[in-house]
Chain A
Amino acid sequence: MANGWLTDTLILLPLGGAIFIAISPLPRLAAGLVALAVSLVEIAFWGGALSAFDYRTGAGAVQLQDTTTWFGDLGISYHVGFTGFAIWLVGLSAVGMTAAIAYAVWVGRQHARAYFASMLLLTTGLVGVFAAQDYLVFYVFWEAMLIPLYVLVGVWGGPGRLRATLMFFIYTMAGSLLMLASIIVLGVSQGSFDMVTAGYSNSDWIFLGFVAAFVVKAPIFPFHGWLPDTYREAPAEISGVLSGLVSKAAAYGFLYIAVLHFPRPTHDFRTPILVLAAIGLIYGSLLAFRAPDIRGVVAYSSLAQMGLITFGLFATNIAGFNGAVLQMVNHGLISLGMFMLAGLVELRAGTGRFDRLGGMAKGRPVLATVLMTLGIIALAVPGSSNFAGEFMILTGVFKSGWGWSVVGAIAIVLAAMYMLRLISAVLHKSRGSAVSDSARDLRLGELAFLAPIVVLLIFFSAWPAAITDHTFGQNGQTPGLVRFR
């Protein structure tokens, strides 16, 4: 098929980079720079894929397809391609992983080759999840994401990392294995594992198996048990990748697999899922408001934001979907940026605890500006891209019942509360005990990976339609979507 090689390249390029870094005897800096170069090239190829994607043709919404038989007797093939909304998430992954790799190059990581190889492998996993058009291939990439994450948290994490990785791993694998059982039941009974030509089902059990994997990974209340430990113990950029990018794989799974391939179970289960999302939204916001450190706030706000995105997805209408996709990109960028800022503040002050921070704005204008800008966008002031996303989500979910919109609106107020608390606790107030004069402002190298994130957010604030008009094609003919218009 036309331009299928772009998809393959996007998947295989980081994998090749990972293998190269793993086996070649590069010094630390060189390994990082090679990884950075590979991920920059990945962004370039993504640009190519975006321009090759034809949003005007409604028909055949999965584009840039490539198919190779993997094992024929069970009807499984390596079938990849992008839907209109997936391509934005691929872009988010490429940009986000590049920023995270740049962060790691900047702060320097031990065992550099293993680290950067894992990061590139993670990129392959992420892109593959968004590209997979075959259930088993989806599962393979889904798990391929987990393996490097396990190592990245477990080797480079903080002192409590062993416990954190164990929790993270057990939670996510329990979900994944239920998904595998569902995939087997679905695929073997249909004789094909293809998502485009087959794979629609009305079975509640199969649906729930998939949902189990997604609610854990996202996470959705009450499946977030792994979240606080993991986000706190992981290296800062890995926490950012987890909450910004990996959780989007779960949101994508909700949208592309759960909602679009299981219309009837989605209809049957949407109220319970919306209730859980609402609880997570309010509960996460409240916890974020009470969290004692920067990472705690960002971690729990992630739980809240994933609840909001789930709102949009299970609104099951175009407005909700578009808002959710926009919000996925927004939250991905914000969360990654926030975690990296948290990491940089921790590097300077030795702690992220609010009771020992404060007054960092004085004499550090760049840090203050970046944190402020990110925070303002995160709390969804009108005119920001987050506002656009949340507005669309609330519009979408309003059609299902005004009560949901009220919950969402309350949560947006709460978001303002916890974000402003974070900003003032770090930047303003009196100078904290951990903040010394030697704590420098953001340096140019640090801006190199933070500025693009801020610029992208400002770009989407100015033109949110860049995403929302380019998600489902003009006729909305993503497979299965027609029903929900």
Chain B
Amino acid sequence: MTLASSIRTPHVDWFAMSPALVLLGASAACLLIAVLFRPRARRYLSAWVTGGAFVGAFVAAALLYDRSGHPTGVIADEIVRDRLGALAAIVVCGAGLATVGVSWRTRLQTHRAEYYALLAAAAGGMCFLVTATNLITLFLSLEWFSICLYVLCAIDVELEGSLEAGLKYLVVGGFGSAFLLFGSALVYGATGQVGFAQIAQATATLGLKHDAFLVAGLAMILAGLAFKASAAPFHMWTPDVYEGAPTPVTGFMAAATKTTALVLTLRILTTAFPQEKQLWTIALAVIVCVSLAIGNLGALVQRNVKRMLAYSSISHAGFMLMPIAAGNALGGRALLYYLIPYSAMSVASFAVVAARERELGVPVTFDNIAGLGWERPFLGAALWACMLGFAGLPLTGGFVGKFYAFSAVYDHGWVWLVIVGAVATAVSLYYYFGLVRALYMRAPAAVGLAPAGGQPPREAALQTAVFGCLVVTVGSFFAVEPLIRLAKMAASSLSF
């Protein structure tokens, strides 16, 4: 009798993990490419492999969505196979695919294959994390993608600030992870359980609703996730890291990390802590208000476009936590809908910044982006559409997302939070339209720049990625019904 046969292994539903597995496979392939091929070949081969893997994972996640009508536990309930996780994986893979397009002509000279390997591995971790139903899985997969991102932030060693960004992210991220882990320990200590559903059950049967350890643990878990979602007051790393990291990576982080963290927040709060709903709705409402205030006020004074977008992403953490704070089915739907246009807008706006950066060779500011709208009409129009979307104006999905978020909050009975959101939106118009003003209304000569002129750089991959994001951003405004139906079915795997 061998050792292997003496251990009872659980049944494994490989299909449920297929998005993560495909991406992990691509990651391994890229690492092999890094040693087996010559530098020129590495560059293209690894990009193609990763891009293909994202397509594959996207399709796998879509199939998974289609065939997971009823949530089922996988690998002894370590993860769950349901539509919520599948939809989040779809968004992550879409963002990843666009990021591959944006990265095609990245200035990174060395370690291209490793770059793609890390990107695929990070996305794999995210696809895994959104299915977590257990504190251990949660922590492991969170670290899995975080470590990849730490390295990705610092991968461009030539880039000023890249190493700094990586280190800063590592230190602050480690802090966040420690919070999460400590919180998990407290929750385990209080309930004796690590599974989300079991925690809720134990809380109910043992009457732990007001248990100090459980509440403290919940607070720390929330804080840990808020670090990842870059919600204030856990946002300190965001502007520096977003500014310092290679721009395609920033775009990926803004879209995919936020998606993952928010979906997981929604899942853990509704499945593990339904008893504490009174507490966490209030706590989240506070985080929302702080994020909106800090994000919007911080963005007002930024001159660097990446930093402005970083603060905007903090304020969007606020907007997207709103529906979670509402704690109702409408809120779940609102969040899952909002993530789709939001991710597209994030990737696209950072992609345009990346294009401008490559053209100029210096960080993009409100001054040196002047005139982009006329010089590069497509990229200018795309950035304009993204700004409209972030600002929540019609003809973009951002409008419908905000509308749903506000409706969910109103449905919860918080008119005041709707007003706070409306005021925050009004403030945000100043900087979003400040960028539009720079794009179209200021001649480059007026700010002392020679017009870029000449043949625009050939960046077919980047432009395709931007175009795809644009289609999602605008399309999600018109095709609300089908997307909401997707979101609704995904949210129905949770019990509100």
Contacts and interface: CB of A to CB of B under 8 A. Distances in A.
Contacts of A154: 437, 440-441
B15 interface: no
A170 B430 contact: yes
A151 B407 contact: no
15 contacts: A69-B481, A73-B484, A140-B394, A140-B399, A143-B399, A144-B395, A146-B393, A147-B395, A150-B436, A162-B437, A165-B441, A169-B433, A181-B422, A184-B410, A185-B415
A316 B437 CA distance: 42
Contacts of B395: 140, 144, 147
A111 B418 CA distance: 39
A165 B480 contact: no
B419 interface: yes
Contacts of A139: 394
Contacts of B168: none
Interface stretch (A172-180, A239-247, A272-280, A363-371): A172-180
Nearest to B329: A73
B403 A165 contact: no
Q: Is the interface of A mostly helix, strand, loop or mixed?
A: helix
A322 to B, nearest CB: 32
A70 interface: yes
A173 B441 CA distance: 19
A111 B374 CA distance: 8
Interface string A269-296: 0000000000000000000000000000
A170 B429 contact: yes
A189 B413 CA distance: 10
Given A71-B480, A72-B481, A144-B395, A184 B407 contact: yes
A184 B406 contact: yes
A136 interface: yes
B388 interface: yes
A132 to B, nearest CB: 12
A70 B481 CA distance: 6
A353 interface: no
A41 interface: no
B77 interface: no
Interface string B410-423: 11000100110011
Contacts of A170: 426, 429-430
B333 A73 contact: yes
A146 to B, nearest CB: 8
Interface in A41-80: 69-74
Contacts of B415: 181, 185
B425 interface: yes
Contacts of B374: 111
A71 B481 contact: yes
Given A74-B407, A188-B411, A181 B437 contact: no
A111 B480 CA distance: 33
Nearest to B411: A188
A155 B400 CA distance: 28
Contacts of B406: 180-181, 184
A285 B403 CA distance: 40
Nearest to B409: A184
Q: Is the interface of B mostly helix, strand, loop or mixed?
A: helix
Q: 8 closest A-B pairs (Cβ-Cβ)?
A: A140-B394, A71-B480, A177-B422, A154-B441, A143-B394, A181-B422, A188-B407, A71-B481
Nearest to A150: B433
B267 interface: no
B418 A181 contact: yes
Interface residues of A, number: 37
A161 interface: yes
Contact of B484 (A71, A185, A188): A71
Interface of B: 330, 333, 374, 381, 388, 393-395, 399-400, 403-404, 406-407, 410-411, 415, 418-419, 422-423, 425-426, 429-430, 433, 436-437, 440-442, 480-481, 484, 488
Nearest to A113: B377
Contacts of B394: 139-141, 143-144
A22 B380 CA distance: 13
Interface in A454-484: none
B428 to A, nearest CB: 10
Contacts of B403: 136, 180, 184
Contacts of B418: 181, 184-185
A147 B393 contact: yes
Residue of B333, B381, B426 with highest tally of chain A CB at under 10 A = B426
Interface string A148-165: 001100110000011001
Contacts of A177: 422-423, 425-426
Contacts of A184: 403, 406-407, 410, 418
A53 to B, nearest CB: 27
A309 B395 CA distance: 31
Contacts of A165: 437, 441
Contact of A174 (B426, B433, B440): B426
A69 B479 CA distance: 11
A409 B400 CA distance: 47
B112 to A, nearest CB: 35
Given A72-B481, A170-B429, A177-B426, A161 B441 contact: yes
A73 B487 CA distance: 12
Nearest to B393: A143
B328 to A, nearest CB: 12
Given A140-B399, A181-B419, 17 more contacts: A69-B481, A73-B330, A73-B484, A136-B403, A143-B394, A147-B388, A147-B395, A150-B436, A154-B440, A155-B440, A165-B437, A169-B433, A170-B430, A173-B426, A174-B426, A187-B407, A188-B411
Contacts of A143: 393-394, 399
A188 B409 CA distance: 11
Contacts of B419: 181
Contact of A180 (B388, B400, B422, B442): B422
B107 to A, nearest CB: 31
Nearest to A179: B422
Contacts of A72: 481
A396 B330 CA distance: 47
A430 B429 CA distance: 49
Contacts of A69: 481
Nearest to A69: B481
A153 to B, nearest CB: 9
A144 B381 CA distance: 16
Given A69-B481, A139-B394, A155 B433 contact: no
A161 B437 CA distance: 11
Contacts of A180: 403, 406, 422
Nearest to B406: A184
Contacts of A174: 426
Given A74-B407, A155-B441, A173 B429 contact: yes
A188 B418 CA distance: 12
A74 B430 CA distance: 30
A169 B429 contact: yes
A195 B248 CA distance: 45
A302 to B, nearest CB: 25
Contacts of B422: 177-178, 180-181
Contacts of A74: 404, 407
A184 B394 CA distance: 15
Contacts of A187: 407
Contacts of A178: 422
Contacts of B411: 188
Contacts of A162: 437, 441-442
A170 B330 CA distance: 31
A115 to B, nearest CB: 11
A188 B429 CA distance: 25
A187 B399 CA distance: 16
Nearest to A151: B440
A173 to B, nearest CB: 5
A165 B433 CA distance: 10
Contacts of B407: 74, 184, 187-188
Contacts of A181: 406, 415, 418-419, 422
Nearest to B378: A23
